[in-house]
Structure 1
């Protein structure tokens, strides 16, 4: 019959639990509550964050600023970088084999698009760890909107004699499309190496964002002891909190990332390369970009 926990205390409990991968019992001891109270608070607060803040915080923002900053980094007319990362979870009784990834542990996949500041602008959470990144992307709302040309403004530039829309950058597992650039593979000449260098320099932002996400919210580096329904909610809440911290300039200590990288080493995703039939227009755009990078030709 005691008084209910205040909102402030519930939020504090959840922030502690997400940041410090302690057991529910250990976190409960820190705050003088039971482990079941901690578990209930995690779901309540994560749901509130997702329902109230997701659409306001994980959003595209000012596209022109994003494009200008990527251009300053060396890649023109770029609206973001995309990648996926595995979040370890406990084994599931139902369809558990679908959640065993290529490294042999149970996981859910977080796909994210980030801007020039490493903030998430679009996320897709909940696919089983066994599912390939390319398949997750093809079945995402982001892919559909990019194909329809409704995600970014209709803002094209001319590279050489080729028109290029706003693009996103991905690694080799993603399909080469007019609006998605990926690296050349195989034996490369100097112009292809330069293209890959420019692309990789910008695409590293999404890898760094995942690193900072997991370094702040270390529970994402351990086995999330939640139901299949609740895991995506907690991951989404962490992504919202990541954007809030990055936007507000919250402190980030280098030691956090070092420790996170050490813990994440066991969960490193293999560099697989899917063979995809690329659209001819995408090939023309990539070739034109490669040539312009090599010659220093300006874009208009």
Structure 2
């Protein structure tokens, strides 16, 4: 029995020493192979293959844009969805290319100028959500928002001063004269663009109709094109106050906006004037309708003034019907909303000058 116990104890001691030796070997081997120096040596020797880092991106399809819109759609489909024919769209992209052209990166290929502009026009023309536009064009949701602002800022920077301009004053004067009002250089009015409530100064943006808005004030020619725009004032501010704080008002006061072109009406010299509603003050160059009890001549004057002043109301109607983002409360920041408003005004003038048929819906 004693011999058996001694043998068993010796056997256990032998096994214990063997286990400890194997543990020490394993620890030593782990320490040696886990260090960065050993890994670098293995890489140099070719025993470990380097794996190229990959970036995850959700799979999307661009077949609709590349194969359907660009290849199949006719002008009527372009007009209905992008508010302009394909030829006008291509011209617009050429004008915006210096500001929108991007280079490819290692992560992904850059969007073309055409696709970025199409995304922006689609979003401005429809009430679709960012997710809907994203699925339509096969891009990321954040890409849609970025494209809208990139295009809006490019339009404002490159085209605003070229497209929204007074142009030939005599043509405008002759156009209003044909409508019944002499020596008129335009009609002015304001409209409200809905916005989301702001955190700190929200009450300043609640207009008289009870919703949050920014004011767009515009001078319009006889054909309904914007010749001067001013935007960004809170909706609560009266139109007359907005007008008094514009560069247009100062230039009209100084007499250097229109050419010095006067006519004589019943022994009274009349400069080139603009028309507006009763909310604005009466000035030598700013006509508003008569109020109160009117005789026949005053009623005729009001009728002709109202008929000519309707061009600005119609222009606002067509602007918002074309670019329906101006009808909804967008999630844009306070600083970005004016860029979008200005871009829509430029696009309105571009469509009108190109004779793009207005197709609502």
TM norm structure 1 = 0.84
Shift of 1:251: 1.4
1:67 aligns with 2:152: no
Q: Distance in 2 between matches of 1:186 and 1:23?
A: 48
Q: Which blocks of at least 5 consecutive residues in structure 1 are unaligned?
A: 260-300
**Counterpart of 1:16?**
122
The answer as to 2:138 corresponding to 1:56 is no
More contact order relative to length (CA 8 Å, sep ≥ 6): 1
Please tell me whether residue 192 in structure 1 is matched to residue 275 in structure 2.
no
Aligned pair partner of 2:189 in 83, 87, 91: 83
Corresponding residue of 2:267: 161
Q: TM-score, normalised by structure 2?
A: 0.70
* SS of residue in 2 equivalent to 1:236: helix
Superposed counterparts of 1:127-142, under 5 Å: 127-142=233-248
Cα root mean square deviation, aligned: 0.8
Gaps of 5+ in 2: 1-106
C-alpha separation between the residues in 1 aligned to 2:322 and 2:158? 21
SS at match of 1:151: coil
Distance 2:313 2:206 in 1: 22
Aligned to 1:120: 226
Number of residue pairs matched? 255
SS at match of 2:357: coil
Cα deviation 1:233-277 (Å, max 9, x = unaligned): 000000000000000000113xx2xx7xxxxxxxxxxxxxxxxxx
Q: Distance in 2 between matches of 1:62 and 1:103?
A: 37
| CA apart distance, 1:186 | 1.6
For the pair shown, the structure with the greater C-alpha radius of gyration is 2
CA distance in structure 2 between the aligned counterparts of 1:119 and 1:51, rounded to whole angstroms: 19
Moved >6 Å (runs of 4+): none
SS at match of 2:151: helix
> Structure 1 residue 69: deviation in Å?
1.0
Deviation at 1:191, TM superposition (A): 1.1
* Cα displacement (A) at 1:19: 0.2
- What SS does structure 2 have at the residue aligned with 1:67? helix
- 2:136 aligns with 30
